[in-house]
Amino acid sequence: MSWIEHSYMGRKGVARGRRGATHELTEAVQGEYRYVYGPYAAPVLRIRPGDVVVAETHDAFEGKIRSESDSPSALLKMPFLNPQNGPIAVEGAEKGDALAVHILSILPRGPQPVGTTALIPEFGGLVATGTTAMLNKPLPERVKKMVVTPEGGVVFSDRVTLPYEPFIGTLGVSPEIEAVSSLQPDYWGGNMDLPDVAPGAVVYFPVHHKEAFLYLGDCHGRQGDGELCGVAVEIPAYATVQVDLIKGWSIPGVRLETEEFIMSVGSARPMEDAARIAYRDLIRWLVDDYGYEESEAYFLCTQAGKMRVGNMVDPKYTLGALLLKSWIG
């Protein structure tokens, strides 16, 4: 018996975890990729709860960086980064519901070396940026290309090969009226760069717009906590997700569930505010759905909670607060 049957999606979803039709969201079907999350673009696909989508995603640079001799500043044009597949309209989704996205698989696509990372001027966790302005000069630009395969891992160098641990860097739904950059994370999801948004996980989003309007892209072959230089192992991918709908589950922001743990996600600056958002929601989740009294949930998170740093480089930082299910009781 799969743990999905006991997940929120499996117990409360319209489809109860049962798979419906499969839709191929190819580059041809997508057409123009999106750099904004919002309600104003026409859907490229309409699906029903339980349906599966196989999306052909671009990397964060839309394939513009092809070799280690390329200059990111010459080829990339801000803010046109993080191209997104979508929007995908989900039948029956309304404000006050929650969208459940079960990530089934992420596979690299395209010619090798398919992985790209880079040093980009005024971008990263240990350099001066446009919002943290300093007089020192930017680090020299550099591009690193890597062979990435599920079987062989990420060939970082002749000395080091890292495990293939893929995830979707940018995933979310449309805000109610805002049109926001795909570089920004917040309550709708977006550019969270959270490594737990990985195959096997179910990610829950609050629905704010009719039919939800799901977006996804920016897949990574792997990434360390914090995405320190600002760029993970960026890959174009075949991202396969199953989408379900939970009626009447009004959540304030992004939640995530795996077989082992539940997680609440916060995005904000400064970083401690992102942590507060995440932990506050985790405590309220324990109160609302697990029968805890608030102070007892506070104690439990203090003694057993864990914090995951998604990114410390985007316009807002993303942190995830989690508890192991075995410790919730």
List, for residues 23-55, the tens digit of each pLDDT value: 999 999 999 999 999 999 999 999 999 999 999
Contact 10, 245 (CB under 8 A): no
Distance CA 318, CA 194 (A): 7
* Predicted TM-score (pTM) of this structure: 0.97
CA-nearest of 169, 150, 146 to 158 is: 146
| Sequence-ordered list of residues with C-beta below 8 angstroms from that of 160, at least 6 positions apart, any chain | none
- Residue 131 has a pLDDT of 83
Dihedral sign, Cα of residue 199, residue 205, residue 209, residue 211: positive
pLDDT band at 1 (very low <50, low <70, confident <90, very high): low
Q: pLDDT per residue over 224-255, tens digit each?
A: 999 999 999 999 999 999 999 999 999 999 99
Tokens of 78: 């801000």
Give the number of other CB atoms < 10 A from CB of residue 109.
Answer: 15
Least confident of 76-80, 92-96, 195-199, 247-251: 76-80
Residue type, 231: V
